[in-house]
Chain A
């Protein structure tokens, strides 16, 4: 297209570009029909509707405490939930909701020992089984690992399979550690002052890891696509909407997370205690699938690798793939490149 053509088309393109940006909030993310199984405080457990459940062991999806779990079910045709249901899995999702100032006292203890513990219990009751598959993503994956590693006085955790997607285990070498790892930064006071750390503040910090890409290149690429006539609002908008949807992070849990992940490395050192019970990752003996992304700047691969040395599972598989923290599992290529591997791995381990 010549410069003159571009200049002539500029007003139309500008209108289309603006329209895409301004109607992003109208995009529908998380459209797969689902039922509420259980609620407690801000937490909701959903079960996705399905008429073809072929596997006995249900899958419980657990997302991070930042952003929303709709990324598991981004849009029809590009939804991990939809893909798993189509292949006969019974899929549940735990949604942490939008914690506010009254939830400032929620720590990792509450998320692991209450919310996740009870969500697992309700999933088993609803599915009528004794075991499930836990599939965690980002901080959700770490919470799942902590849940499986928790001391239960000899009682067995009802988890048959553990799937960990882009999971941080030791973040002391990451850029976050350079920001918040210094003892001068008083995380407890900041967490207490804020009550719940605003989602926008966390989103801003995450975006500052790659400032030009996040604040400029994303929008410039959209403009290029509009000019070339290759813009796909149906793909761009649900993702953009999801990126901008940032619930607050309960202050106490945020301070605990920073200390154990970016300062002390307590999880890999086996020194995390939740309600006085030790979290020892050596207790994890389930079938484990770990997925890491080569270009992950949020949970870099080296920060996940210590996990393999700690767990005692005999059945461990690691899928080391190229891609980013979110794009690997929710990107346009995931349906062909990653989800079949996950479904195949699950299918072999989801029957009696």
Chain B
């Protein structure tokens, strides 16, 4: 860090250096905290609870929606999954068609060479 005119740090530089030291200490302290198993346990418990609360909220809203005879999230997910299954089957059929076409082209090529 640059010194002042007489080689000493200016008040602004001193404040800056102090701040950077404090930030560096805080960084280390928080990283140590995050590496503790107890912190991991807290995070894991929070994740479990948030996941459960989210699910309960979604299910409650869905229940209300379905009683109003309107398609809810679960219905849309079910429809999307059916579409995915169809797409999976279509992809496999396409691959079979492509490999049969390749095989046919190869056989025709060999035939032409023989002729």
Cα A210 to Cα B54 in complex, Å, equals 27
Select the residue from B23, B37, B47, B95 with max chain A CB neighbours within 10 A. B47
Asked if B98 and A125 make an inter-chain contact with CB atoms under 8 angstroms apart, the answer reads: yes
Which residues of chain A have C-beta atoms less than 8 A from B80's C-beta? 100, 102
B23 and A211: CB pair below 8 A? no
Q: Are A101 and B87 in contact (CB under 8 A)?
A: no
A179-B39, A212-B30 given; 19 more Cβ-contact pairs under 8 Å = A40-B87, A41-B87, A102-B77, A102-B81, A102-B84, A103-B84, A175-B34, A178-B37, A182-B40, A185-B47, A189-B48, A190-B51, A193-B55, A194-B51, A201-B47, A201-B50, A209-B31, A209-B34, A212-B31
A interface with B by C-beta (< 8 Å): 2-3, 40-41, 100-103, 105, 114, 118, 121, 125, 175, 178-182, 184-186, 189-190, 193-195, 201, 205, 208-213, 216-217, 220
Closest chain-B Cβ to A7's Cβ sits at a distance in Å of 12
Chain A residues with Cβ below 8 Å from B70 are none
Give me 9 A-to-B residue pairs in the complex whose CB atoms sit less than 8 angstroms apart, sorted by A's number: A41-B84, A105-B81, A181-B40, A182-B44, A189-B51, A190-B47, A190-B48, A193-B52, A193-B54
Do B51 and A193 have beta carbons less than 8 Å apart?
yes
A306 to B36, CA, bound (A): 25
Indicate whether A180 sits within 8 Å of B27 (C-beta atoms), given known contacts A41-B84, A118-B95, A175-B34.
no
Interface of B (DSSP majority class): helix
Question: Interface size (B, Cβ < 8 Å)?
Answer: 33
Tell me the chain B residues, 75-89 only, with Cβ under 8 Å from chain A. 76-77, 80-81, 84, 87-88
Do B34 and A3 have beta carbons less than 8 Å apart?
no
C-alpha gap A181/B50 in the complex (Å): 19
Is A194 a contact partner of B48 (Cβ separation < 8 A)? no
For A41, list chain B residues within 8 Å (CB): 84, 87-88
Residues of B within 8 A of A209 (CB): 31, 34
The answer to whether A211 and B84 touch across the interface, beta carbons within 8 angstroms, is no
Known contacts A193-B51, A212-B23; A182 and B95 CB within 8 A of each other: no
Residue contact A180 to B51, C-beta cutoff 8 Å: no
Asked if residues B48 and A211 are in contact (CB atoms below 8 Å), the reply is no
